[in-house]
Amino acid sequence: MLLKGKVVVVTGGGQGIGQGIVECAARDGARVAILDIRTERAKDLAKQLAARSLEVAVWQADVADAASFGEAIGNVAAKWGRIDALVNNAGVVAPPGSFMDGDPATWDHMIDVDYKGVLNGIRAAVPHLQRAGGGAIVNIGSDSARFGEVGIAVYSGCKGAVNSVSKSLAKELASARIRINVIAPGLIDTPIMDVARSTPEGAKMIEDTQKTIPLGKLGVPEDIGNLASFLVSDRASYITGQTISVNGGMIMFG
């Protein structure tokens, strides 16, 4: 199996893209730790997967709080003896709207979760990956960071920062045999899409954008999960510092 014997940590794994990543990693043989600030859905998911003889455990953690994140990572390592991979998936987004009408407190929250949460996760996980002889980190970005998107400027900016720091740290940590890559989803049908649809501007943005997808459909969480499993596996041992779009061909970067 692709991830047999590996311990994979997934943040925000209780629903949406995170759920897809957890399901694929567990299916591929990993022991999966879900770190989530709200654990109800994550625990339900763990029970469902346990019924299929897949090994998943849940810890509560606030990715925006370095101490909380570090404690949870330590608990995972204590339970399973090692950590081989981290997928920084947890994220928040505000309903689309004018930047000038935005609330700075909302900006701060997005920065804390979407950018600082990634930094906290990498810092907490790296010592464990080093003890395992190396490993992989996958950060979930967004295509909005690569081409810009009206109405979600701060979110796009956070994801742009994730792209940049991932490249820098991929170079810095390569000597420790730690690989870092970014998956940039396009339109994936998840609960976060319902947030976007909650405003007329957001609903129109989704409708207009979907028309530009050559494959003619929205993605599903499994599309992201399949790639994440590959990137944290040994089959991707020569891939690092990359941002890979999963968008049905909506945007093709050359």
User: Has residue 253 been placed in a domain?
Assistant: no
pLDDT at 154 over 90: yes
The total number of structural domains that make up the chain: 1
Pairing mode of beta strands 31-36, 135-140: unpaired
- By annotation, the residues acting in catalysis are 155
Residue 254 reports pLDDT greater than 70:
no
**CATH code: domain of residue 37:** 3.40.50.720
pLDDT: which is higher, 211 or 78:
78
5 pLDDT more than 80:
yes
Rounded average pLDDT over 118-142: 98
SS3 readout for the chain:
CCCCCCEEEEECCCCHHHHHHHHHHHHCCCEEEEEECCCHHHHHHHHHHHCCCCCEEEEECCCCCHHHHHHHHHHHHHHHCCCCEEEECCCCCCCCCCHHHCCHHHHHHHHHHHHHHHHHHHHHHHHHHHHCCCEEEEEECCCHHHHCCCCCHHHHHHHHHHHHHHHHHHHHHHHHCEEEEEEEECCECCHHHHHHCCCHHHHHHHHHHHCCCCCCCCECHHHHHHHHHHHHCHHHCCCCCCEEEECCCCCCCC
Q: Decide if 2 is inside a domain.
A: no
The pair phi, psi for residue 194, each rounded to 5°, is -65, -30
In a domain, 248, yes or no: no
Q: What percent of the chain has pLDDT over 70?
A: 100
Q: Is 86 a domain residue?
A: yes
Percent of the chain with pLDDT over 90: 82
pLDDT in tens, 181-230: 999 999 898 877 777 778 888 788 788 888 889 998 889 999 999 999 99
Q: Establish if 88 belongs to a structural domain.
A: yes
pTM across the whole model: 0.94
- The answer to whether the beta carbons of residues 90 and 36 sit under 8 Å apart is yes
Instruction: Judge whether 57 lies within some domain.
Output: yes
Could you list the residue range(s) of the whole structural domain that residue 77 is in? Answer: 7-243
Whether 250 is in a domain gets the answer no
Does residue 85 contact residue 8 with C-beta atoms inside 8 Å?
A: yes
**111 belongs to a structural domain:** yes
Mean predicted confidence (pLDDT) in 12-34:
97
User: pLDDT digits over 158-170, tens only?
Assistant: 999 999 999 999 9
